[in-house]
Structure 1
Amino acid sequence: MSNIKQILVVDDDQSIRELLSEYLTKMGFSVNSAADGIEMALQLKISQPDLIILDVMMPGDDGFVLCQRVRQESNVPIIMLTANSDEVDRVLGLEIGADDYMAKPFSPRELLARVKALLRRSAFHQETVPTTKPRYIQFSGWKLDTLQHSLSSDEHEALSLTGADFQLLMLFLDNPNQVISRDRICQALHGRNAFANERGIDVHLSRLRQNLGDDAKSPQIIKTLRGAGYVWIAEVQVLNE
């Protein structure tokens, strides 16, 4: 079986598609491309990529809509590209399930570093979760399925976690009652070659708290220690099922 990772580049700019296809192919990846959401859907029916590079501004369904659509069925890592320098667009991408983002124009070398970091993280989960993690973990009325990356509760609808959300949650569950620094969160989400982004960390934490129904002003699950980091304060129970 081939170990070559497959990347899907979705961008309406042909020059961007050609640039990334040529560069990433030289770097040892298998690259497919799509100019819009329709072509993207066709590509996803043919094969499931290991990572998607997704432009925000495209004709028809934009990148935000397509990202949400992918997240309904898959936890594949997604890097979003935006030509808008406004932080709002980039934050929105993270909030709807993207794992990382880059602003245009971008450095292909930096994009490559981010691609490799996300693929390492994804490979780590695939290799370790089935063998070293318990299948189910319970806390504060929630039940986490570490194999399916899903949360269930009697009081809430089931949630499917993105790769970044699951990684952050497992970081806390593996280290209850311990202070987790922002630097450690950044490394856990983006790997050794992490590119620090304060706002991005805030978005990930806020989204996790929102999913868990935890109020940052009166926390029952994740407590903020100003200047130090964050502490998981809820009781964690491993279920033997």
Structure 2
Amino acid sequence: MNNNYLIAIVDDDQHIRHLVEAYLQKENYRTVGLETAEEAWTLWRTTPPDMWVLDIMLPGMDGYEFCRRIRNEAEVPIIMISARDNEVDKILGLELGSDDYLVKPFSPRELVARIKRQLQRWYKLKNADDKPSREEEQAKIEHGQLQLWLEDRRVFWNGEEVDMTIKEFAMLKVLAEYPNRAFTRDELLTYVWGDDYFGSDRAVDHLIKRMRKKLEDLPIEAVWGLGYRMRVEERESI
């Protein structure tokens, strides 16, 4: 993995923007500083960055809403920064799809370290699937109206192709590979986010919620007190 990533810093505090950019540029990352989420959204539409460092309290659209909008379209890494040292705020940020949460004031070196870790995880998710699969020799997984084309990472539901993010596809793949098996949230976190992820397990719930919106009536069900499974009816043998 090289450092030729574009990282966007969205914060209305000019001092913080310049400080973070200076530390990242020393590590040979490309950076762009933005004061508002509206400016960030324009950047997303024209020159999407590889990662966001996102303040929560912004003029106009806040960081929560911006994170929600980005997550509806992509799995680009997001680190939220905020002066709010409140568990509720951290959980909300993680539920909306942020990958990490750092409280102000923070050490720029710590932020750079977290950025490196998130980009390494993103690089692995995007370019390799090193998890063993019993379907490796097959082109696709099929359950009723669901089809997953593994090599091309394409999903068809009721005959229509549905765009899925990398994490959505990874979650759908593991549940479809082992139908009717109940997975704990921790197991799904490890499979999709990696074994070095330390965020809330509510990230699993949020990802499942997004998948259900895209794949209406998909038979993924919650297992009370545990996690999730994909319910597939067993065919009777003749």
Structure-2-length-normalised TM-score: 0.68
For each residue in 1:85-117, what CA deviation from the matched residue of structure 2 results, as whole angstroms up to 9, or x when unmatched? Answer: 455544444454x34241422454554454334
Mapping of 1:64-143 within 5 angstroms? Answer: 64-71=64-71, 73-96=73-96, 98-105=97-104, 106-108=106-108, 110-128=110-128, 137-139=141-143, 141-143=145-147
CA distance in 1, matches of 2:115, 2:3: 15
Matched residue, 2:223: 224
For each residue in 1:31-71, what CA deviation from the matched residue of structure 2 results, as whole angstroms up to 9, or x when unmatched? Answer: 22111134324544663321112222211222233334434
Matched residue, 1:234: 232
Residue identity opposite 2:83 in structure 1: A
CA distance in 1, matches of 2:137, 2:55: 35
Q: Secondary structure at the match of 1:126?
A: helix
Matched residue, 1:31: 31
Q: Is the CA contact 1:117–1:191 (under 8 Å) kept in the aligned structure 2?
A: no
Say which one has the larger Rg: 2
Q: Secondary structure at the match of 2:223?
A: strand
CA distance in 1, matches of 2:117, 2:18: 23
**Distance change >3 Å, CA 30–CA 214, structure 1 → 2:** same
Q: Secondary structure at the match of 2:76?
A: coil
Q: Secondary structure at the match of 2:196?
A: coil
TM-fit CA distance, 1:127: 2.3
Could you tell me which runs of 5 or more consecutive residues in structure 1 were left unpaired when the two chains were aligned.
236-241
TM-fit CA distance, 1:27: 3.5
CA distance in 2, matches of 1:146, 1:89: 37
Pairing 1:184–2:183 present: no
**Distance change >3 Å, CA 63–CA 225, structure 1 → 2:** closer
Q: Is the CA contact 1:95–1:207 (under 8 Å) kept in the aligned structure 2?
A: no
Q: Secondary structure at the match of 1:80?
A: strand
Q: Secondary structure at the match of 1:115?
A: helix
CA distance in 1, matches of 2:12, 2:152: 33
Matched residue, 2:206: 203
**Distance change >3 Å, CA 73–CA 179, structure 1 → 2:** closer
Could you tell me which runs of 5 or more consecutive residues in structure 2 were left unpaired when the two chains were aligned.
130-135, 234-238
Residue identity opposite 1:221 in structure 2: I
**Distance change >3 Å, CA 212–CA 5, structure 1 → 2:** same
The alignment of Structure 1 onto Structure 2 pairs a total of residues equal to 226
TM-fit CA distance, 1:143: 4.4
CA distance in 2, matches of 1:11, 1:38: 12
Structure-1-length-normalised TM-score: 0.68
TM-fit CA distance, 1:233: 3.5
